[in-house]
Structure 1
C-alpha cells in the first residue's frame, strides 16, 4: 500500500499565519478600546477611575523596568519626553471626552483615521517634507471623510465632539513623531507613559480635579476588573505586543493597512452592544477614511526633503 505524506508547512506560511492572527487580534483590541471607552458611563465608573485602571495595570506589569527606564531618561531631550508622554493621560482624556460627545463608531474612526494626516502635516511644518501623489490622494480621502462625518452625521455628533476627536488624533500623531526620536525601547516607553499617567491621574482624582469613585469608597469591583482586562491588559499590553508580532511577520505595510479595519468592526459591534445605528453619513465617512488610511499605508512613502536654499 502506498502512503502519501502531507507536506510540512513552510516557515513562510507559518509566519504568515502568525502574522494574520496577530493583525486580527490588533483590530479587535483597538476596536474594544473605542467600545469600552464609549460604554464607560454604563459601567458606573468615572473618568478618573478609568484612567487609574487603564494606566495602573501596565504600571504594575512593567514596574521592574521602571528604574532602568528612569536611568535612560538622563540623556533624553525634554521635547521628546513631552511628545512621548502625550500618549498617556492627555490622549486618554481627549479620547474619552470625544467618545462621550459623539459615538463609538466615530471615535474609533476619527482618532486613528486622522493620524496619517496629522503626521504628514507636522512633518511638513517641521522639515518641509513632501509626499508622493498617491499618498496625497489618500490624505484627501481622509479629509473628505472627516468633512462627511461633520456634515452628514446630523444630530449624532456635533462639531465640538468631532473637534475633540481630531485633537486626540493630533496628540497621537505628535506622540508618533516623538516615538521615532526617542532612544527608549518599547517596554521603556510603555513603562514611562504608564507611570507618569498613573501618578497624574491619582493626583487629579485625589484633589477633586477629576471625578473618581475610588476616594469616595464607591468601587464596583466587577466593573474595575472588566475594565482592567479590556483597557489595561488588552489595550495597554496585548495590542502593542500583537502589533509588534504582526510587523515582524508581515512587514509594516500590511498591519498598518489592516488596522484601518478596526473602525469598521467598531461600527458593526456598536449596533448590538450600544444600540448605535449605522447611518448613511457614517457609511460615507467610513468608506472615505478607511480607504484613505489603507491607501496611505500601502503606498510607497517617497518622502523627499526640498534642497536647502
Structure 2
C-alpha cells in the first residue's frame, strides 16, 4: 500500500517538505476490524490544525504518522459481522490507498444514495456539519438575513441552501467572480460578495449594501476581514455559529485578528449575541435524521452540490495546499480507486 505521512510541521503555509509518500506493507485487520481499498479520501481545512503540535479538540498528527482524513473504501477483508467483502465503509482511513479501522468506528454506505464520493461531501461530514449547526443553533426565522463565508464550499453551500429553504435572505462571501456566480446561480443565494482585495472596512460596506436590515445569523467558516465586516452589522439577538477560521490557519495576521477582546465582548453584550462553537462530533447521534431529511433532497436536486476531484494519492498535498488558498471549487476529494 501507499500512504502520505507528516514529514515536518509547517511554519505557516505547508510546503512539499511537510509531506512524504511512503510504501508500506498491507495492514492486516484484527478482531472486529475491517480492511478497505480506498475509493475516495476527503481534504478539509481542519487538517491544517492537526499538523501543528498544539492542544486542540483533537490530538495532532505525529511526525511519521499517516495524515488523517475521512475516506470511503470497498471492504476487502472483514473481521466484523457488520461488514462483508464488497461493502462500502466510511471511516478515518487517512491519506492512504488502503486502511484498517475498527468496524464500530465506521458506517456502511448505501450505493443507492449515489457516488461513494458523496459520503465525504454533501452527504458526509461537511454537509452534516452545516445541517447540525443550523438546526441546533441557527434558530432560523423566515425574513431574517444569514451570511456565510466560503459560500461555495461543501459546508457554506449547504448552510446557504438550508437557510434559503427556511425563508431567509442568504448572502454569501467567496473568493472570485466565478465562485460568486456559482453561489447565486447554482446554490440559490440572494447575493454573494467577492472578498478578494477587501479589508474589514471594505467588507463591512459591501455587506451593508447586501444586508440592509442587518445580519441575524453568521455562520463562521473563515475569520479574517469577513468576520471584521460582519460584526458591526449583527442585529439584536443575533447568532454566530463558529465552525472554522481558515483565514488564520497558516498564522496570518490582519486587523480583525488584532481586534481588542474588550471591543468584541462589548458587541456581544450590547447586541445580546449568541456565539456558539460547532463540532459535528457533538451531534453524531443525529446522523440518521440528517440522512432522512437531506438524502432525498440531494437525490431530487433540491440540494445542489459541486465536487472538485483530484486524481491519485501523490497529488493530495498539492490539492490540500490549493484548498487552503481557496483554489478548490466545491468539495475537494481525492480519487484513489473505483
TM range (shorter): under 0.3
Structure showing the higher helix proportion among its residues = 1
Structure showing the higher strand proportion among its residues = 2
TM-score norm. by structure 2 comes to 0.23
